[in-house]
Structure formats: C-alpha cells, structure tokens
Amino acid sequence: MDCATRSRCIVGALAPADQAVVSCLIRESAFCRGAEISSEGDVASSLKIIKVGTLFGYRTGKDGRRRPIGIAGRGTAFGMYGCFGRHNQVSGVAVSAGRYCELSIRHLEEKPPWADTFREQLINDCIRSFGLAADWSAAMRLRTLVKQLAYTLFLLSDVQGSPVVQLPTHTALAELLGTTRESIVRGLIVLEGERCIAKLERKKCHVYGDRLLQWLDSALLVQPPNREINEFNSLKVS
C-alpha cells in the first residue's frame, strides 16, 4: 500500500482486500543496466512489473536486426501476453538500474477469486501499451531531430511519472532516435537554451512539460523546406 508505483500498476488497480492477497505472491528483484528482463518470442512464465527504472523495448525487424522501438517505465508490465499463452512481442532491456515486482502466471491459472479482475486489468494494460507504442511512432514522425528529442523527453517524463527525468545515456538515446551521440548532446543544449529543460546533474534533468509542448507547437508552425520536393523541382528544371 505504500508503493509509489501503485497508482500505475496492475496490482494497484485491484480492490484493497485482493491487493493484500496478491502482495504475498509477489517477489521483488533488482536489475542492472543492460539486463534483458523479457525476451521477444518467449512465452513468459511470470509478469514483471517495473517499479523503478527505465527500459527500452526492442523489436527484431524483417532484416533480422533488433532495434529500439520505445521506452518503458514505472508500472509497465512485461510478459503480459504469457497470461494468454502468447509470445512476447518485444524484448525489454534496461537502460538504467531499477527494480521490478514479479508474479508467477501459475497463480492466475489456479483461478483465485481475484483472477477475473486481474485479467480485466491486463487487457486494459494491453490497450494502454498499444497507445504508448502509437505515441512513440508519432514522435518519430516529427521532422527534425530536436523536435523528436523534445517529444521523447516529454514521453520519458510521462512513463517515469515525474518531471524530474532519469536520462538514458546519450548513446542509448542516439540509438533510439537513429542518430549520433554528438547530435543528442547538441539537441539537449538547444532545449536547455529554450528553457524547456534544466540539467540537474549528469544523468537527470527537469522537463518543463507545458513549456516544452508550447515550444514544440510553435516550432511546428515553421516547417523547414521540403528537401524531397526541392530536389524533385530541380530535376524538372534541369
């Protein structure tokens, strides 16, 4: 009942009496940066609910290469498709140290009184996860790296549940956005100069959500020239 992540957690959505029962079945574990707590293609035997920390979701493409496709934080449940006998659709790889709460799927298969309510919350979480994936897809549609980075920081603040964001490494952000570490550094400097963020220490920053969205909205009003159209027109002239 004292868990800071309870309001974002599947277990936290249960009735207090059911929470007390389920809490006795949960095992808490720590993970380090680089740990893979869930693997794409596996049928999970347990749910792992992120309590503290940040992870990247990775998906293997048709070319066999694995790429980051989004960020997960507090309250995200990995292995949820195992409750329905289905394979994991992404891998969960930690980009910071953290902790997760683990619940064996076997306890659900034993049909306890809280199982139906828990499964309903799982379905709601599946829907929420699809929405988060759509948010990350929308972020990648923005036309410049700085805008993509700005949107990413806003979503990071959301998944971590705090305006004070624990930043992944510049290398990890560069991998997520398909750019270089140096470009990430320059982008953060631009956003700090626009007073959308404030650095607190090496791996933390304060994200001013309203200000960042206002800046992003005004920046979107001034679109850079469409390079493809310009190149096409130059070809027609030549």
Locus of tokens 């990350």: 136
Residue 46 has a pLDDT of 96
Cβ atoms of 51 and 101 within 8 Å: the answer is yes
Beta bridge partners of 207: 197
Burial of 50 (0-12, 13-18, 19+ CB in 10 A): buried
The whole-number average pLDDT for the span 13-31 is 91
* pLDDT tens digits, 144-160: 999 999 999 999 998 88
The whole-number average pLDDT for the span 102-118 is 90
Q: Is 29 a residue whose pLDDT tops 90?
A: yes
CB atoms within 10 A of CB 176: 23
Residue 138 has a pLDDT of 87
Residue 233 has a pLDDT of 43
The whole-number average pLDDT for the span 114-122 is 88
Q: Which of 58, 40, 51 is nearest to 77 (CA)?
A: 51
* pLDDT tens digits, 183-217: 999 999 999 999 999 999 878 999 999 999 999 88
The whole-number average pLDDT for the span 60-77 is 91
Q: Is 235 a residue whose pLDDT tops 50?
A: no
* pLDDT tens digits, 171-180: 999 999 999 9
